[in-house]
Chain A
Amino acid sequence: MTQNADNVLDHFELFRGPEYQQMLENKRRMFENPKPAEDIERVREWTKTEEYKDKNFAREALTVNPAKACQPLGAVFVATGFEGTIPFVHGSQGCVAYYRSHLSRHFKEPTSCVSSSMTEDAAVFGGLNNMVDGLANTYSLYKPKMIAVSTTCMAEVIGDDLNAFIKTAKEKESLPADFDVPFAHTPAFVGSHVTGYDNALKGIVEHFWDGKAGTAPKLERQVNGSINFIGGFDGYCVGNMREVKRIFDLMGVEYTLLGDNSDVFDTPTDGEFRMYDGGTTLEEAANAIHARATVSMQHFCTEKTLPMIEGHGHEVASFHHPVGVAGTDQFLMEVARLAGVKIPEALDKERGRLVDAIADSQAHIHGKRFAIYGDPDLTIGLSKFLLELGAEPVHVLSTNGGKAWAARMEEVFASSPFGADCKAYAGKDLWHMRSLLFTEPVDFLIGNTYGKYLERDTGTPLIRLGFPIFDRHHKHRYPVWGYQGGLNVLVTILDKIFDEMDKNTNVPSKTDYSYDIIR
C-alpha cells in the first residue's frame, strides 16, 4: 500500500507507487489500444523537424493553443475598474462563468459579473426580456452605481440591439431612467480580449461625455491641467496602477486613471467581502473630458478609444506597454510635457538605480536568445527591454497581433544591432511557437502559464510574464511599469537564468566546478 496516514501522499507521489504503476501499465497495454512505441517516438521526433514546421506554418484553418481570449473578457475586465460597477454580459450564461473563473484564477480574487442568461427561446425571439428582467435583478440585488453591458457572440449573431434594449428596460422601470448603463457590442468572433477592452472603455467614456445615450446633454469641455491615463488589458493592473499613481504623485501631475481596477482585484482578507472596491469614480469618468490630454499605456488596447477621445479635443499619446529604462523615460517625458511639469529628482534616482541594476547584471543576459509571446503591446514593451539589456528577442509571436503590430515589431528590431536576426509572427499560435523552438532554438521563453507546455516539450526554460499566470502566485501585485517595474522584470528574468545555471552545473565531480556561490 502506497498511502500513509502519517505522511499523506497526494497525486505528486501517490501514483508513482508500484501498485499504481502496474495498474496504469496494464490499463495501457490491455485496454487503450495504444499506438506502437516506435510510432510515437517517430512522430515525436518528426514534430521537431523543419519539414513539420513547414507543414505547421502552412495551416490555414486550424488554430492550436492560441495566445488570446475573446472580446467580452476584456469588456468585463475594464468595467471592474469603475466605482461600484458590475459588468453585465448579454448572452448565454456559461460565458460569464468562464470570464469569472479565468480572472479569478489569475488574480486569486473574486470576480463579480452577471449574465442575462439567454437560452433557446431568446435565440429565437431575441433577448429583450432577459435584458429587462436581468437589469432589474442586478440593480436590486447588487446595488451597483453603474451596470456596464457587453455582449457575447450569441447575442451578436442574433443581432440584439443593446441601445434599444436598455432604453426599453428603463421604460419598463427595471432601473431608474438616469441610471448609468454604458454598453458595448463585443462579438467574440472579432478581435480578442484586447479589442473588447477597447470597445467597452470607449462605450463607458462616450456614455459619460456624449449625453448618456440620449438621456442627458453632452458635456461641454472646459480644459483643465489634468491628464487621463488608460492602462489597457493588463494582468499586472494591481501593481502597475498603483505604481503609475505613485509616479504621477511624485511628478505632481493631476490625473484620472480610467478603469482603475487595482483595488477591486486586491481586496483584503479582514472578514468582509467587498464586491466593489476603489475604481474610477463616475464623477471622475465624466470630468475626464476636461483633461488636457489622454495617454494610453497600450496602443492596441485603445485603437478606437483614443481617436474618439482625440475627437473631443484631447491631445493623445499611446505607448506599447513600456518596460525598462528607455520605455519609462519616454513615458515620463511625454507625461511631463503634456502636464507641463518637471520630472523630479526622486525619479532620476530611481532611474539611476535601475541602470545600476542592469549594469550589475547585464553580463548574464547579454547575447542570450529569447522567444516571446503575448498581447501585442506587451510583446513590444518586453522586446524593447530585452534589446536594452543586450539580449536578442529572436521569435516574437502574438496571436492577436496583426500587420500593424508586425510592422511596429520590425521597427523595434531595426532599432538595435541585437535585433538583427529577430522576427515577428503575427496571428500565429503556440503550436507554431513549438516548431520555432525546435528548429531555431533559443535560450529562454517569455510568456504566460500556457508556456509551460512549451517548456516541457522543447526544454526551453519559461519566464512567466503575461496573462494569464495561473500556476505562480501574486505576480500581479508587482508592477512591471516604471523604473521599479523594470527592476521587477529584470529580477524575474535573472532568477530563471541563475536557476538554469545552477541546474546545469550541479552534477558532482562532473560539472560542479562551475557551481559557484558568487554569480
Chain B
Amino acid sequence: MSLPKDASVDEVKARNRELIDDVLKAYPAKSAKRRAKHLNVHNDGKSDCGVKSNLKSIPGVMTIRGCAYAGSKGVVWGPIKDMIHISHGPVGCGQYSWAARRNYYIGTTGVDTFVTMQFTSDFQEKDIVFGGDKKLAKIMDEIEELFPLNNGITVQSECPIGLIGDDIEAVSKQKSKEYSKTIVPVRCEGFRGVSQSLGHHIANDAVRDFVFDKLDMSAEPKIEPGPYDIAIIGDYNIGGDAWSSRILLEEMGLRVVAQWSGDGTLAELEATPRVKLNVLHCYRSMNYISRHMEEKYGIPWCEYNFFGPSKIAESLRKIAGFFDDKVKEGAERVIAKYQPLMDQVIARYRPRLEGKTVMLFVGGLRPRHVIGAYEDLGMEVVGTGYEFGHNDDYQRTAQHYVKDGTLIYDDVTGYEFEKFVETIQPDLVGSGIKEKYVFQKMGVPFRQMHSWDYSGPYHGYDGFAIFARDMDMAINAPVWNLPQAPWKQTPKPMLMAAE
C-alpha cells in the first residue's frame, strides 16, 4: 500500500483509512473499538484531528506512555537545579530517570546543584508495612546536613506512597518550618491519571501551592521589576534548548527573569509572578500554571514555537506584539540578523532533504511544533500523534500544522506504529528511544525527538542549524544503503514490522 510520491490527497486518504481498518483487525473486538477512536485521517478545515485523547491506554499493548511520576519528576520538577528532588518510594523510578533527559544546567553538582543525581528513600518492605513518614523526615535532616547549600526540597511520590496513605504533606510542612526552607510534597504517584500528563498538572499545582502561595507579593521584590520582564515557561533545556531560545529573547530587548524548568532555580520560580509576560513553549506541560498566573496575577501568556526559521520569526513577532516599538524593532533586528545564517543552512541542507517524508510520535508538543522546521527544509510530515496530548493539542495541530490527509494516531501502540511505518515507508521516523531501534532494524532512518539523540539544541536559530544537520545525517547516512545484502534479489528493500 506504499503510494508513489505524486499520489493525490484522495489516494492518500483512502490508503490511510484502509490502513487504520487493517491494524484494528488484529485486536480483540473490545480493544479494536476503543483503539478506533484514537486513529484517524486529518480532513482539512476540521477544528481538530478527529481523535479521542487523554484516555486510559488499553492494557497488554506496548504503549509508549509513561506515568505521573515521570511527568512531575522527569519533566517539571527534576530540572530545577538548586533543589533536591527525592524519589520517594522504591529505588527503581529514580534510577531509570537518573540523568536520562539531558536537562542541561550550569552548577557545581553535589554542592549547589543536584540535577544529575538520584536521591531516593529506597523503600523496603518495612517502609510499606509501617509507612515511610518517619524515614522521610530523617531523609530531610540528612539532606540538610550533607547538602547544606540546597535551596529547597521536593518529594516526588512513587506508587506506594498514595496507596499506603503516607502523609508527606505533614512531614514537608514540619520540616519546611524547621529549616525555613521551601519543601514541596508532590502527589505524582505513577498510577494517577492515564499518562505523564497528569504529572505535569500535579507538579504545576504544587508550584502554585508551595511556591507562589507562600510569596508575600506586597513585600519589596528581590529583583527590581522592569518593563520588559518575561519568563520562559515549559522549556526543559534538552541539550541546551532554553539557552538558544533565551539568547534571542534577550537580543530583541526583553529581560528573561526566569526560565522553567531547564537550568531553572527556585529564585526564578519565585520571581515569575511579577513578570510582564509568560512565554510558553511546551503548552501541554505548563499551560496550567500559566493560566493560574493570568488569573491570579494578571500576567498574560503566549505560546511560541522556536523550531525552524518560519515559526521562530512568527513567534518573535507575536511575543514582540505584547510590547512597545522598541521590542518590535528588536524582533525585526533579530530576524534580520539571523536570516543569512538560515539562508545558508537551508541552501546547504534543503537540496538533500527536499520531498522527504517524516512520521512523528512524541510527547505533548513536538508532534506539531517540529512540523514547521521540517517544512522549512522541504520535508513533509505524513503521520503524527501524541503520547499524552489532549484535545486542545489536537485542535492546535489541526488548525495550524498538519496537512489534509495526514495520518493521526493518538497513544499509538507499538503494533500500530510498526504497521503504519511498514506501509507508508517514510524517509524518517522521529520518536523516542523505545522506538528507535525497532525502526532502524527495518532500515528506516530515525531521530530521537525527546532528547535529540544526544545532539542539540534544536530550539532557536542556532538550534535549527543543528536540526537540519541532524536530519541530513540521519536520512542520508550511507548505512541505509547497506541493510540489504547485495546477493539478495529483491529490487527495493521492504521495511518489515514484526508479525
Contacts and interface: CB of A to CB of B under 8 A. Distances in A.
Contacts of A123: 162-163, 191
Nearest to B30: A133
B336 to A, nearest CB: 12
Given A5-B344, A136-B28, A153-B89, A55 B57 contact: no
B421 to A, nearest CB: 9
Nearest to B495: A271
Nearest to B32: A140
B116 interface: yes
A287 interface: no
B441 A133 contact: no
Given A65-B118, A110-B441, A40 B106 contact: no
Interface stretch (A27-35, A198-206, A308-316, A412-420): A27-35
Nearest to B415: A141
A118 to B, nearest CB: 6
Nearest to A66: B91
A190 interface: yes
A14 interface: yes
Interface stretch (A234-242, A248-256, A272-280, A298-306): A272-280
Interface string A263-291: 00001111111111000000000000000
B271 to A, nearest CB: 7
Nearest to B345: A5
Indicate the member of B93, B122, B240, B250 with the most A CB atoms within 10 Å.
B122
A517 interface: no
B443 interface: yes
Contacts of A92: 67, 159, 190-191
B60 A134 contact: yes
A340 B347 CA distance: 71
Contact of A269 (B247, B267, B440): B440
Indicate the member of A15, A47, A64, A116 with the most B CB atoms within 10 Å.
A64
Interface residues of A, number: 112
Nearest to A154: B159
Given A61-B138, A119-B191, A457-B110, A141 B59 contact: no
A23 interface: yes
Nearest to B61: A137
A343 to B, nearest CB: 38
B82 interface: yes
B160 A10 contact: no
A504 B443 CA distance: 44
Contact of B190 (A94, A116, A274): A94
A34 B112 contact: yes
A11 B117 contact: no
B60 A61 contact: no
Nearest to A32: B265
Contact of A94 (B65, B124, B143, B347): B65
Indicate the member of A94, A140, A143 with the most B CB atoms within 10 Å.
A94
B63 A115 contact: yes
B457 A14 contact: yes
A458 B494 CA distance: 51
A79 interface: no
Interface stretch (A67-75, A330-338, A478-486, A507-515): A67-75
A179 interface: no
A450 B98 contact: yes
B60 A69 contact: no
Given A10-B455, A120-B191, A94 B67 contact: yes
A105 B57 contact: no
Nearest to A193: B92
B362 interface: no
A154 B158 CA distance: 9
Contacts of A130: 59
A398 interface: no
B122 A157 contact: no
A359 interface: no
A288 to B, nearest CB: 27
A152 interface: yes
B243 A20 contact: yes
A95 B190 CA distance: 8
Contact of A271 (B92, B97, B158, B443): B443
Given A5-B341, A154-B159, A154-B163, A140 B498 contact: no
A5 B348 contact: yes
13 contacts: A4-B341, A11-B456, A69-B95, A91-B159, A94-B190, A98-B66, A119-B194, A137-B60, A142-B415, A153-B158, A157-B128, A192-B91, A271-B483
Given A61-B139, A70-B90, A152-B159, 17 more contacts: A3-B341, A10-B457, A11-B240, A35-B112, A59-B146, A62-B119, A62-B142, A92-B67, A113-B62, A117-B57, A119-B194, A133-B58, A157-B164, A270-B483, A273-B438, A275-B498, A453-B116
Interface of B: 26-28, 30-31, 56-70, 82, 89-93, 95-100, 104, 106, 108-112, 116-125, 127-128, 135-136, 138-139, 142-143, 145-146, 148-149, 151, 158-160, 162-164, 190-194, 196, 222-223, 239-240, 243-244, 246-247, 250, 256-259, 263, 265-268, 271, 337-338, 341, 344-345, 347-348, 413-415, 418, 432-434, 436-443, 455-457, 461-462, 465-466, 468-469, 479, 482-485, 493-499
Interface of A: 1-6, 8-11, 14-15, 19-20, 23-24, 27-28, 30-35, 39-40, 43-44, 47, 52, 55-56, 59-66, 68-70, 72-73, 88, 91-95, 97-102, 104-105, 108-120, 122-123, 130-131, 133-143, 152-154, 157-158, 187-190, 192, 267-276, 431, 434, 450, 453, 457
What 10 pairs across the A-B complex have the smallest Cβ distances? A94-B67, A134-B60, A70-B92, A134-B59, A33-B267, A5-B344, A98-B96, A137-B60, A275-B498, A188-B90
